[in-house]
Each structure stands twice: as C-alpha cells, then as structure tokens.
Amino acid sequence: MATNDMTTGQLRILKAVATLLENPATKITVQRIAQEIHVTDGAIYRHYKSKDEIFEAIAAYMESNLLGPLNAVAKQTDSTPKRLEMVFEQHMAFLEGHPGLARLLLGGGSTEAAPMAERLKLLNAKVRAQLAQLLKFGEAQGALVAGVTPEQATEVLYGLLVGTAVSYSFGLPQLPAGQKWKIFAGSCLRVSS
C-alpha cells in the first residue's frame, strides 16, 4: 500500500504505530494506538479490521518505501553510481523518519509484530538482492573500483543501511548520511557522486 493510496486516518494510525514501535517495551494494542492519536477504538476499526491488518499495512508501507526507490531509479538515470546514491538517500530519509520501523525492519519492535518476521526477512532479502543486481550492472559499466566485486560492494552498502537502521532504532550516534555515502562511494565506486 503506497502512502498516496491511504486515507488520512489510515496514515495517522500507521504513524502512531511507528511511533509506538520506537519503545520496544510498549505493548501495542488498538486501545494504545487510539490513545496515541486521541481517537476512540472504534475510529481505528473504521480503518482497519484488526491489529494484524494494521501490521500488514505497515509491512506493505515499508515494502513500498524500501523497494519502490530501487525499482524507480532505473527510469531516472543510467548511471549506476547515481542510481545507488538516490537509493541510499531515499533509504536514509525513510530510516531517519521512522526509527520505530527501522527497529521493526531489523526484526525488533514489539511482540505483536512477531507474525511479520518472515515477511520482514523477505523484505531485507529483496533489498539486498536488488542492491546486488544494481552493483552487478555497475560492474558491467565499469563503475566499481578495481578489485572490488559486486558482492563486496553489496555487503558494504547493505551493511551501511543495516547499521543506520540500528543507530536510529537505538538512538545511537552516527555519521551524517552524506558522509556515509562518500565513504561507500570512495571505497567502492569509480565515479563518486
């Protein structure tokens, strides 16, 4: 479910859950979600039939925001370094804006989200596989530094994304996204952006 496919109420509910997920000790119930956005439980049920449906919508939202940029960049530029930079920036913005969802992406969050574990594992695998595909294409373009394989570059880039998710999830200090990108591009790409 893309953000533009959601009603204002649905989006408010998902944002409330994302905020509640920032604290793993918070038990997420429909009543707690309603309290977070100052509505009745009934108002929540007008948008979603159950808490499970809310978590399914969150998973779809995450997939749209994390896989969507990977699919969209091919239409915007042929340059692998530029594509990777655009994907990196979009992922950084998503993680910064959703620390609770970053925690969920890592398999953390609340016990209520446990049924989503396999879906989130698959989402992580898809993100990593698409990064690997972009980097293999980059190798064919001659965009990788000599001696760096697409697999190595994928490991470094995916590691940066996961490390950023960890930092946002736990409120840890970290380098600004631009500096992270420069480190990756400088060590793995022939043309740094």
Average pLDDT, the chain: 90
Please tell me the distance from the alpha carbon of residue 37 to that of residue 20, in angstroms, as a whole number: 11
Please tell me the distance from the alpha carbon of residue 77 to that of residue 157, in angstroms, as a whole number: 19
Residue-wise pLDDT for 50-86, tens only, equals 988 999 999 999 999 999 888 888 889 989 999 999 9
- What pLDDT score was predicted for residue 1? 47
The residue among 14, 149, 126 whose CA lies nearest residue 71 is 126
Residue-wise pLDDT for 171-180, tens only, equals 899 999 999 9
Which secondary-structure segment (H or E) carries 157?
Answer: helix 150-170
Please tell me the distance from the alpha carbon of residue 185 to that of residue 37, in angstroms, as a whole number: 41
Q: Give the rounded percent of residues in the chain with a pLDDT score beyond 70.
A: 93
Mean pLDDT of 10-36: 91
pTM of the model: 0.85
Please tell me the distance from the alpha carbon of residue 51 to that of residue 19, in angstroms, as a whole number: 15
Mean pLDDT of 124-138: 95
- What pLDDT score was predicted for residue 193? 43
Task: Reduce the DSSP state of residue 189 to 3 states and report it.
Answer: strand
Please tell me the distance from the alpha carbon of residue 57 to that of residue 32, in angstroms, as a whole number: 17
The domains found in the chain, sorted by start residue, are 58-188 (1.10.357.10)
